[in-house]
Amino acid sequence: MNKSLSKKILEYTAIFEPAEEGGYVVSVPALPGCVTQGETFEEASAMVKDAIDGYLSVLKEEGEDIPQERPEVVITKVSVNNPASYL
C-alpha cells in the first residue's frame, strides 16, 4: 500500500523591529497576537518560526481555520507630516 503524503508550505510576513534593549521583536500581522523576540536576527528568525508553528497548532486543536496570508498584501512605508512641525 502506497500512501502519498503532501505537506503544504505556508508563508507569512514577519516584521522584525529592533528592540530598545537589543535584539529584535517579531510580529506576524496575519496571525494576531503572534509575537516573539530574539537576541540576534538569527535567533529571532528561529523563534518566530516556532511561534507560528505553536499558533497554528492551537488553531488546529481548537478546530479553527488556519489563516492564509493573501498574496496581494503590499507592505510599504508611508510618509506623513510630523505633528510637531505644526507648531
- 27 within a domain of the structure (yes/no): yes
3-class SS shares of the chain: helix, strand, coil, % to 5:
30, 15, 55
CATH number of the structural domain spanning residue 49? 3.30.160.250
Residue where the block lists cell 535567533: 43
- 10 within a domain of the structure (yes/no): no
Number of domains comprising the chain: 1
Spatial contact of 28 and 51, defined as CB atoms under 8 Å apart:
yes
Nearest to 68 by CA among 52, 50, 46: 52
Domain hosting 49: range is 15-68
Instruction: Give residue-wise pLDDT tens across range 23-79.
Output: 999 999 999 999 999 999 999 999 999 999 999 999 999 999 999 888 888 888 899
- 38 within a domain of the structure (yes/no): yes
For residue 5, pLDDT over 60 is answered with no
- 9 within a domain of the structure (yes/no): no
